[in-house]
Structure formats: C-alpha cells, structure tokens
C-alpha cells in the first residue's frame, strides 16, 4: 500500500513537472515590418499577447530601413536601423504593456502585452510560436 502511494506521488510529480515545463517554455514570435505595418504572417497586427520570457523577432521585409524602438515601463530598447531581411530580437522579461514604434515611420505602432505565465496563459490565438 505504501509503495503504491509512493508511485502515485512520483507519477504526480513527473506529470506536474511536465506541465510546468510546457508552460515555462519560452515562446518565440516573429513580427514583420511590411509596407510600413507590423505584421504576423503578412497580416497587420495591432496587439500581440505573449508571456514573460518570450522572445520577439522583428524582421524587416520592406526595401527601406526601419528603426524599431520602445519607450515603455516594462521595456525600453532601440534596435537601430536595419535593412530588408535583417532581424532584431528582444526578450520581454517583465509583465505589462510595451508600445512598439518605428522611429523612421511614425505611423507604425503596436502593443505587446506581456503576461505573467504564472497568473494567466496568453489569450492570443492567432499567433503560432515560432519553432
């Protein structure tokens, strides 16, 4: 009986660790800069919901330069000017909202909502994590 109980707890622990590991796996997302819009799979995106620890790759798909930056409470960065085909990556390690803009083309604007995965799972269903 005792051995049986031990096996049960061991199985439970392994299962718990597997679920946790799955939840904790950092996601990767690619956001294109396409025709002066932020896009995912070619479609304009205004809001992207991710988890703390996830990485976002900003990829320039336009023939001209972009300069992506954010001046937000949770994340401040400047990615500099980068050309077509080039990509710059940012890891979002705090929960909250980050406003993303292009310094060159001021009409380019989107928001990245970073969720604390221990509190909630991401609600965005349109975006597939990049493998």
* Interacting residues with other proteins (CB under 8 A): 36, 63-65, 67, 69, 71, 78, 80-81, 83, 103-107
Q: How far is the CB of 73 from other proteins (least distance, A)?
A: 16
Q: Which is nearer to other proteins, 32 or 49 (CB)?
A: 32
CA atoms 73, 79, 84, 85: torsion sign:
negative
The span from the CA of 21 to the CA of 87, in Å, is 28
The span from the CA of 26 to the CA of 5, in Å, is 34
Q: How far is the CB of 96 from other proteins (least distance, A)?
A: 20
Q: Which is nearer to other proteins, 56 or 79 (CB)?
A: 79
CA-to-CA dists, residue 122 to 26, 32, 114, 115, angstroms:
12, 20, 8, 7
Strand order in the sheet with 43-44: 43-44, 37-40, 28-34, 55-60, 87-91
Q: Which is nearer to other proteins, 57 or 105 (CB)?
A: 105
Q: How far is the CB of 107 from other proteins (least distance, A)?
A: 5
Q: Which is nearer to other proteins, 12 or 109 (CB)?
A: 109
Q: How far is the CB of 83 from other proteins (least distance, A)?
A: 7
């Amino acid at each position: 009986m005792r051995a049986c109980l031990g096996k049960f707890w061991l199985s439970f622990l392994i299962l718990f660790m597997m679920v946790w590991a799955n939840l904790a796996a950092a996601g990767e997302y690619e956001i294109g800069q396409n025709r002066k819009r932020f896009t995912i799979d070619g479609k304009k995106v205004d809001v992207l919901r991710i988890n703390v620890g996830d990485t976002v790759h900003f990829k320039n798909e336009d023939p001209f330069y972009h300069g992506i930056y954010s001046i937000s409470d949770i994340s401040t960065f400047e990615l500099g000017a980068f050309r077509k085909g080039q990509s710059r990556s940012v890891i979002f390690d705090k929960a909250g909202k980050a406003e993303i803009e292009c310094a060159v083309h001021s009409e380019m604007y989107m928001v990245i909502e970073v969720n604390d995965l221990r509190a909630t799972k991401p609600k965005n269903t349109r975006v597939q994590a990049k493998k």
